[in-house]
Structure 1
């Protein structure tokens, strides 16, 4: 069976949030809130929703500055504000219990939600979503250290918004790039090239250091709540290293850790292995 998928917008304080969700037959199906990364949007989860959406309610919003979501002029792009919008989105949909899928930017958004509403979180699926200093590669550390006053810093960030860089994020580290569909990076680049999007991403890049500063709070939350956790990690990620995956075991020692010979966007070529793990976890 193939999942039925709905595609909708909902207003959250003036932000027209686009989202896609599966429509399982069971009204009480477990919910997995899919939080996407950079430079992508909810479309990165299309195949996962197809695979699991008949049994589980998978809900994937686009953040402001990404995908089909439309933010008003003057919107302040920061990770706190992204979390505010996703928090409002969850409230609008009436989701009071859900597991979180934390990938890339989805980790700082999701951990903010978890700290605000720990009682709602039934578990974590962590896929290259970093929360530990040792999980940052040298390249990631250099990027995070850039400020508006860094000579050449803005140019360095803007170079990440090119088609070659976007494609490289998808194919880099994969054992077989032929398994990665080109539609993903082409659609990401289409949205990156829309008016105002590069400025939004530049603001988020300069704000990223606040996530690193918040790592100790996220780790303390993990130690206190010990949520059921599944970790599926592409070990050839140029930004978030294998050490970051293993570090979770300090705070959630019962987490299930699975490492894959692939890169940042592990679902692109490892969906056949990862989807059953998620299904078992939610079940």
Structure 2
């Protein structure tokens, strides 16, 4: 395990198996559930929007990623139960859930299967139905699965960051040429947004440390029939970019219509990274934090 300036990873021996985790900050507990691919490092990037003096962000690697073995926790429901087991290990009775993309189903099912444990849900472009990844061409596969591809992406991020950001945003959204150029300029000139996009790349390599989790995610996401969203009782905020090419925006609008009392915030011309890169990102991030804090006080 590699210690970073943002978190110190540990292994929790829970009732359902080992989980790589870290707790960052103090205050209301919030489980941060990363997407596909990802790991605890991706959760740490997500948690940058959470105040360290108000929220204790519980970062983790989902099964098959980095330091958390897949073991018997392959299914979405087992992953949800593993999140509850981690809370048990930490002595946390109730926590908020902040989830993104392919981590959405596990976050939603935690609220369905363990309703008293969840104070609120902040769902960012969260998958809610069967998802099948589009075909991947050979150059893209080589870029994200081989050592030379990793070296090339790292070199691009280090020496041509603006071009790197352009590629990341183009790959995660259906933006016009003018929209893309404007968004790249906005992200490149904002230190927090630029750092997020550049750092995110390291969490997307499908090497031996993430390959098992990624393959399992694709299998489990494709097999979704219903997440029983209508049974969720926790206050829920759904965030979605309208130009997201990775997750159909209807996943979020449907979830907001189905979860009782849920609210949806649509970011116009927002990509899959909208919560972190959109011009309105800071305002929406404040809404996310406000929900998580208000719910913790109830």
TM-score (norm 2): 0.70
Map of 2:290 onto structure 1: 280
- Aligned with 1:229 (options 231, 236, 248): 236
Change in Cα spacing, 1:112 to 1:231, as seen in structure 2 (3 Å) is: closer
Map of 1:82 onto structure 2: 79
SS at match of 1:20: strand
- Is residue 2:201 matched to residue 1:185? yes
Contact 2:11/2:18, CA 8 A, preserved across alignment:
yes
- Is residue 2:98 matched to residue 1:95? no
Which runs of structure 2 are paired with 1:130-279 in the superposition (5 Å)?
130-131=127-128, 140-141=131-132, 143=133, 162-163=143-144, 172-173=172-173, 175-176=183-184, 178=188, 179-180=193-194, 181-189=197-205, 192-194=206-208, 197-211=210-224, 213-215=225-227, 218-222=228-232, 225=233, 227-252=234-259, 254-260=261-267, 261-270=269-278, 271-279=281-289
Change in Cα spacing, 1:40 to 1:265, as seen in structure 2 (3 Å) is: farther
Contact 2:73/2:79, CA 8 A, preserved across alignment:
no
Contact 2:16/2:85, CA 8 A, preserved across alignment:
no
CA distance in 1, matches of 2:18, 2:123: 27
Structure 1 vs Structure 2 CA RMSD: 3.5
**How many correspondences in the alignment?**
250
Change in Cα spacing, 1:37 to 1:160, as seen in structure 2 (3 Å) is: farther
| Higher alpha-carbon deviation: 179-188 or 273-282 | 179-188
Query: How far has the Cα of 1:22 moved from its partner?
Result: 2.2
TM-score (norm 1): 0.73
Query: How far has the Cα of 1:157 moved from its partner?
Result: 11
Query: How far has the Cα of 1:13 moved from its partner?
Result: 5.0
Change in Cα spacing, 1:92 to 1:41, as seen in structure 2 (3 Å) is: same
Consecutive unaligned residues in structure 2, runs of 5 or more = 154-163, 174-179
SS at match of 1:105: helix
CA distance in 2, matches of 1:85, 1:58: 17
CA distance in 1, matches of 2:91, 2:168: 34
- Is residue 2:43 matched to residue 1:41? no
SS at match of 1:65: coil
Contact 1:34/1:45, CA 8 A, preserved across alignment:
yes
Map of 2:64 onto structure 1: 65
Contact 1:4/1:53, CA 8 A, preserved across alignment:
no
